[in-house]
Amino acid sequence: MKIEKPKVPKGLCYVIKSSQLEEIFEELGVTIDISVKYYFSKEGAQGIRVFECLYWLPNKNVPYERLYINVGTVTFTQKDKIDTLLKEFFPKFKEWVLFMASLSENSTFLKQNNYIQANFTNDSLTVKSSP
């Protein structure tokens, strides 16, 4: 797992530790190339994007599949609420990863824009995914 993690500004914290992500993938037994990028979240029309995972297909430049994960920040006052919500999200995330890893290269489910993401807004988490 490749990790890019800048120091977080005062008053903010990342929503998940890299060691927790490593535990998830160890538990799943998935041997796919994984890159994790931590970033400072900004609130947008869909709330605060706190987690996103993209499944990238092999291409002419990179001949293997990979996961590209973005992990965002929340304020310390939001951290307890996010921790509770992520406990509900991560089983869905694990299921999605296992589903993607189980697909054959010629599966009709696979396309260029495969993702799962979680946005935090109004003290709740909205999850979107494709497929």
DSSP 8-state assignment for residue 15 = S
The CA distance from 127 to 12, in Å, is: 22
pLDDT of residue 43: 86
The CA distance from 31 to 40, in Å, is: 28
- Res 122 pLDDT > 90: no
- Res 82 pLDDT > 80: yes
pLDDT of residue 44: 83
Tokens standing for residue 15? 């929503």
The CA distance from 22 to 28, in Å, is: 10
- Res 111 pLDDT > 90: no
Q: What is the mean pLDDT of residues 8-16?
A: 95
For 37-76, what is each residue's pLDDT tens digit? Answer: 999 998 888 889 999 999 998 889 999 899 999 999 999 9
- Res 97 pLDDT > 80: yes
* Domain-wise residue ranges, the chain: 2-103+112-121
Q: What is the mean pLDDT of residues 103-114?
A: 82
